[in-house]
Structure 1
Amino acid sequence: MKQLIRCAAALGAAVLALAVPLSAPAMADDSREDVFRRLQVDQVPADYVILVDTSGSMDDLFGGVRSTLGTFLTGLSPTDHVALFTFDAGAVPRYIGPAGDTARMMADLPVVPDGSSTDIGRAIEQAVSELERPGAAAVASVVLISDGGHYPGAGTDYPKTTGPAWDALKARAAKLKTTSVRGYALPLSGESGAPLLGSVIKNTTVLDPKAVAQLGEYLDRSKEGARLEKARLMLAPDQGKGVTAAWEAPATADLSGRDVPVTLTLTSDTTHTPVTVTGLKATMDGGPQLTGDIPQQVDLAPGESRSFPLTLEWDRDPWPVPFHDERTSSGPLTVSGQVTVPWAAALAPDIDLRTPAGPAGNPPGLTVSSTVGTWTAQAVAGAVALVLALLIALIIYLRKRAPQSGTLVAVSPMTGQEVARFPLRGRVTRIGGQGLTGEGTVVARRVPRQATNTDGVEYEITFRGLDRTDTTTLPSRGSVLVGGVAFEHQPPPEPIPVGR
């Protein structure tokens, strides 16, 4: 019964208790009792309507019922509202008012049951009327205790267990403004009309105590259900709520050789529930990096905000030669992590908070730029590269153009007589005059040494005759016919050894 009382208190106080935020974060191993204590569910007002059978058949049971009921009423909070009715041929209010004074609540309860009939319909009608009153709490529990069936007296509106009066009573119960109404039927014998409560109060649990001695145990069970309803009502605004991430950052930033400070703020969107974020990570795509001290776990009390100063940087390593290079990246600042509620396991499966898996929020778009190197360095590097290229080309050219040596002899192919002789010097020799009928140039170049060219040099002769120009190659120590003239290469004379 204590639990039922607390349950009613919780729902009624939901209007008030939603303004009771938690100031301390929960531990990861909080039990359900810990959660209830942190929520202060026992301070939430609730309505309790208690219907006790006082027909004569209850005589042997009534002493135990009174004792157990007194213990139950003692456990109620002063903020709870109690309506205690007894019923037999009719339903009589024994106490209607705030809880807190057990003696006063029990004062008008009969000591001996002596009713001649059992009109469960009228008892339930009184319960519905009580919950229809203005100012009824948001949470209510209706407890019906009886040992017999529905045996009403003459003139009742509920002669049977069904009928127009029952239908009207069900319709009134369905229209109750109370957020949560739970019924608890406790039949004390095999034949009982207590389950009729479920035909009117839809959310009714029929408990099955085997004896009056077990009545307290079953009332405690119903009390836990009531406290759970209080918690459910208080936590309703937190369902689907988690953590929102917000950024304080410029829309554009130049990261050339400097960093830009930004701030990440995590805010709990809950009213009563603590939340935890693990695996927290802040990023920006496209190259820039976010650095700073972000803890792996962030615990947030309801409504709490925590800010983390971060640095946006773009660590671009320049080339060995500092060429000028400018890059731009646009994208959102994003944050990821796993959002959980430490209370989830304790409340499951009865209350599912449906906490979003990750932080919510609209990540801001950001455009950043970064420049490395200078145009001067690039121009100098280009000039150096050009000089190196020219130098390499010159070396290749000179390696291919070998210095000339020996003598080029021009011979008439008709007579075999020598017509001209030209010493070969340097890298280009011009030929013409003497007995030649044309002119030209001779260029030497290196070639692989072979049996037909042991010097590894050949001569390219370009000769312009009367009406044409011909080009051919002349192996060292060889001969060739070009432009109607035979050319022979004579190597320089061998040096005379010293001492001869």
Structure 2
Amino acid sequence: MTSERREVPARRGPRPVVGADRSPAAPSRGLLGLSGLSGLSGLLGLLVAVLMATSVSGVAPARAAGPAGGVGGVAQLGRTAVLDALGVPTLPAEYVVLVDTSASMSRGGLYGPVRSTLSSFVASLDPADRLSVVGFDEVPQVAFSGPAANARSAIGRLPATATGASTDIGAALSTAIDLLDHPDAARSGAVILLTDGRHQPPVNSPFPAETGRPWTDLAERARTRLAGRDIAGYAFALDNADAGRAGATLLRSVLPATTVLALPPGQLPQYLSRVQQHARAQKAAELLADDVRGPVVTVGWRWASAGRTLADVDPTAGTGTVEVTVTSTARRLPVELTGVRVVSTDPSVSIATPATPAAGTPGGGLPERIALAPGQRRVYQVPVSLSPRTGGAVRRSHRVDGGLSLMSTVDSPWRTVLTSEFGLRMDPAPRGASTRVHGSVAAGWNPAAIAEIVVLVALVLLFALGFIDRRRPRLRGVLAAEAADGRLDRVAMRGRRLHLGPERDDDVVVPGTGSVHGRRMGRGRLAAGARPTGRAGRDRIDLVIDYQPPGITGLPPLVLRPGESRGHGDVTFTYTLPGQPIGPADTAVFPAADHPGDGDPGAHGPYPDGPSPGGPFADDRFPRAGGFTSSP
């Protein structure tokens, strides 16, 4: 054993001890066991000790139970007040204390002070806690296992003197895992290992060395059987020699969340107190975890008028009332909203200022601060003014379309302890803090808009008709088609298009196929003998004859002006306007010869296909019902 002892901070696990005071009085040399040090070695030892006493495991200072000002003006409670409000003393935690009872503990004068310190620690446990005390040397011996309320004599059941010949730390840790695994086990707890030496097992130990398969299996058994629980490890090397630190560090190989400290027995009470504080903080964090998993406050909106909703308000009402419901979703955490006010996001919906506002209600019927106990709900009436917009091109309407938002910060009088000591964060924004306000009613028709639409439609129709009339004007006059074999067909044109073909039901019977349509050419010269009448004096309509003789393709269209007669393929086409006199030229075009097969040659006079009392061309060889017509 060495007479020089100092704290040696080992690598800390993920769950540090919390709740220790960061401003302790300066420790004395006697307390730290640093007498006899000199020079640089003594200075370094003192520095390490002070650092450990002030910042071990990232501990935050314990706060007084009374209120203290917090951010946003919310008074903050201390750790003790929060723990008492949560009822943490009534919640169980598991403690397993492993005490080295080998002879070296007595020779170093460690065993007596350890027993005394553990007696005080056991007396300070919460009545609902569960305690197991195990002494170990050659084999582990369970001195006590049961409720902490019945553990007053637990430490007295340890051997009065440490006389063991071996130190089987592996067997002790295996026993600790078994003691933690029972049907009524609490979720949080701690394994505390106090030893002054290495792992020195007896010959028949299942852990013959400090490493190897037995330790791997033990760690896997701990991981499996303690899954889902928050069990922290604390290993105290009561001797600062390498042997003491090596033995204590073995706990970390089984429980990775282990804090290892090398310190003399005089400092043990302080750190055991921190172990207990950490366990209580874990209880509190377990209780509050669900409360802060999401938004702690929700906001609900409702239009207060019967038969209406926020999506269907009456914009002509001028005013209305919005019912705002603020609800705490927490089961244990008290919350407080600060800086509360309702604001509008659109001018069509504004917050009305009451004529006689109540004291402390600047937010349109809402108090500036709202305190909510766990699960509490508060309802407030917020008056609003509606300024509808009138619009609509044809059917006019009055409408409002805006938004309302509850501006606030969610806080808690437990926030400081929640964050710094329990490691939890709460959402500062409420859920559902914004809503939409919409409504619309008809305001009648807009006569001016209707008149504009009618005029526009008329103009479009006129333009379309004019366009069609220019591209495809109505056909007028007579079209005669004389085939090469002397057959003649003459048609009084109507409509906008004629079909050419060899069949009797075609508009113009010719050997080949094709079509005829008109093209308005504007004012123009007529062919010889044509006489302008009506609109023909202003616009000339030419015929576009797209005709393909039998067996021939690719023949370009023929353009025929009024009064012209031209051959196209195997057909001669003649275009005559209404009222055009028939003279010698016409005789040449229309020879006085009967059609082949006529039963009465020359019965129609010199112009067999000319006008007759029965109609313009009633004696045509292909009479059509109702006269000669073109396709519509």
What is the TM-score with the length of structure 2 in the denominator? 0.51
- Tell me whether 357-366 or 171-180 shows the greater mean CA deviation: 357-366
User: Do the aligned partners of residues 116 and 178 (structure 1) sit closer, same or farther apart at CA in structure 2, a change above 3 Å counting?
Assistant: farther
Q: Which residue of 2 aligns with 1:449?
A: none
Cα distance in 1 for partners of 2:419, 2:103 equals 44
Q: Which amino acid aligns with 1:224?
A: Q
Cα distance in 2 for partners of 1:309, 1:298 equals 14
Tell me whether 1:137 sits opposite 2:137 in the alignment: no
Contact 1:132 1:177 in 2 (8 A): no
How big is the shift at 1:366?
Answer: 3.0
How big is the shift at 1:117?
Answer: 0.6
- Tell me whether 74-83 or 248-257 shows the greater mean CA deviation: 248-257
Tell me whether 1:279 sits opposite 2:332 in the alignment: no
Q: Which residue of 2 aligns with 1:342?
A: 413
Q: Which residue of 1 aligns with 2:82?
A: 35
Q: 2:329 aligns with which of 244, 247, 269?
A: 269
| Cα deviation 1:459-491 (Å, max 9, x = unaligned) | xxxxxxxxxxxxxxxxxxxxxxxxxxxxxxxxx
Contact 1:255 1:313 in 2 (8 A): no
Contact 1:87 1:119 in 2 (8 A): yes
Tell me whether 1:242 sits opposite 2:296 in the alignment: yes
Q: Which amino acid aligns with 2:227?
A: K
Q: 2:213 aligns with which of 164, 168, 174?
A: 164
| Cα deviation 1:111-157 (Å, max 9, x = unaligned) | 11111110000000001111222221101210011111111111111
Q: Which amino acid aligns with 2:249?
A: P
Tell me whether 1:199 sits opposite 2:253 in the alignment: yes
Q: How many residues align?
A: 346
Q: Which residue of 1 aligns with 2:374?
A: 302
Cα distance in 1 for partners of 2:183, 2:376 equals 36
Where do 1:31-430 residues align within 5 Å? 31-59=78-106, 60-175=109-224, 176-190=226-240, 191-192=243-244, 193-209=247-263, 211-239=264-292, 240-249=294-303, 250=309, 251-286=311-346, 287-291=348-352, 292-314=364-386, 327-361=398-432, 363-368=434-439
Q: Which amino acid aligns with 2:265?
A: V
How big is the shift at 1:257?
Answer: 4.9
How big is the shift at 1:341?
Answer: 3.0
Cα distance in 2 for partners of 1:261, 1:284 equals 14
The structure with the greater share of residues assigned to strand is 1
Report the 3-state secondary structure (helix = DSSP H, G, I; strand = E; otherwise coil) of the residue aligned with 1:130: helix
Contact 2:207 2:215 in 1 (8 A): yes
Cα distance in 1 for partners of 2:345, 2:267 equals 65
Q: Which amino acid aligns with 2:80?
A: E
Contact 2:95 2:129 in 1 (8 A): yes
How big is the shift at 1:343?
Answer: 2.3
Report the 3-state secondary structure (helix = DSSP H, G, I; strand = E; otherwise coil) of the residue aligned with 1:253: coil
| Cα deviation 1:182-216 (Å, max 9, x = unaligned) | 0111111023111211110110111232x212111
| Aligned-residue CA RMSD (Å) | 2.9
Report the 3-state secondary structure (helix = DSSP H, G, I; strand = E; otherwise coil) of the residue aligned with 1:42: helix
Contact 2:136 2:172 in 1 (8 A): yes
| Cα deviation 1:212-268 (Å, max 9, x = unaligned) | 121111111222221221122112112233211001222322243553222101111
Cα distance in 2 for partners of 1:189, 1:158 equals 23
Where do 1:488-499 residues align within 5 Å? none
Contact 1:275 1:301 in 2 (8 A): yes
Report the 3-state secondary structure (helix = DSSP H, G, I; strand = E; otherwise coil) of the residue aligned with 1:237: coil
Contact 1:53 1:118 in 2 (8 A): yes
Q: Which amino acid aligns with 2:351?
A: L
Cα distance in 2 for partners of 1:367, 1:67 equals 74
| Cα deviation 1:432-466 (Å, max 9, x = unaligned) | xxxxxxxxxxxxxxxxxxxxxxxxxxxxxxxxxxx
How big is the shift at 1:371?
Answer: 10
Cα distance in 2 for partners of 1:348, 1:365 equals 35
Cα distance in 2 for partners of 1:31, 1:278 equals 21
**Gaps (5+ residues) in structure 2?**
1-15, 20-66, 304-308, 353-363, 391-395, 446-632
Cα distance in 2 for partners of 1:352, 1:370 equals 54
Cα distance in 1 for partners of 2:401, 2:209 equals 77
Cα distance in 1 for partners of 2:343, 2:433 equals 14
How big is the shift at 1:327?
Answer: 3.0
Contact 2:349 2:403 in 1 (8 A): no
Cα distance in 1 for partners of 2:423, 2:191 equals 25
Q: Which amino acid aligns with 2:188?
A: V
How big is the shift at 1:315?
Answer: 5.7
Higher relative contact order (CA 8 A, sep 6+): 1
Q: Which residue of 1 aligns with 2:47?
A: none
Report the 3-state secondary structure (helix = DSSP H, G, I; strand = E; otherwise coil) of the residue aligned with 1:256: helix
Contact 1:140 1:178 in 2 (8 A): no
Contact 1:207 1:218 in 2 (8 A): no
| Cα deviation 1:284-339 (Å, max 9, x = unaligned) | 43311234321112121221111111223226899xxxxxx963112444322222
| Cα deviation 1:161-184 (Å, max 9, x = unaligned) | 101110000001111135201011
Amino-acid identity (%): 34
User: Do the aligned partners of residues 57 and 305 (structure 1) sit closer, same or farther apart at CA in structure 2, a change above 3 Å counting?
Assistant: same
User: Do the aligned partners of residues 87 and 71 (structure 1) sit closer, same or farther apart at CA in structure 2, a change above 3 Å counting?
Assistant: same
| Cα deviation 1:59-116 (Å, max 9, x = unaligned) | 1222111111111111112211111110000101111111113433234211111111
Cα distance in 1 for partners of 2:389, 2:250 equals 81
Cα distance in 1 for partners of 2:284, 2:316 equals 55
Contact 1:182 1:204 in 2 (8 A): yes
- Tell me whether 174-183 or 80-89 shows the greater mean CA deviation: 174-183
Report the 3-state secondary structure (helix = DSSP H, G, I; strand = E; otherwise coil) of the residue aligned with 2:177: helix
User: Do the aligned partners of residues 343 and 362 (structure 1) sit closer, same or farther apart at CA in structure 2, a change above 3 Å counting?
Assistant: closer
Contact 1:70 1:102 in 2 (8 A): no
Q: Which amino acid aligns with 1:156?
A: S
Q: Which residue of 1 aligns with 2:499?
A: none
- Tell me whether 188-197 or 330-339 shows the greater mean CA deviation: 330-339
User: Do the aligned partners of residues 312 and 184 (structure 1) sit closer, same or farther apart at CA in structure 2, a change above 3 Å counting?
Assistant: same
What is the TM-score with the length of structure 1 in the denominator? 0.64
Contact 1:86 1:93 in 2 (8 A): yes
Report the 3-state secondary structure (helix = DSSP H, G, I; strand = E; otherwise coil) of the residue aligned with 2:89: helix
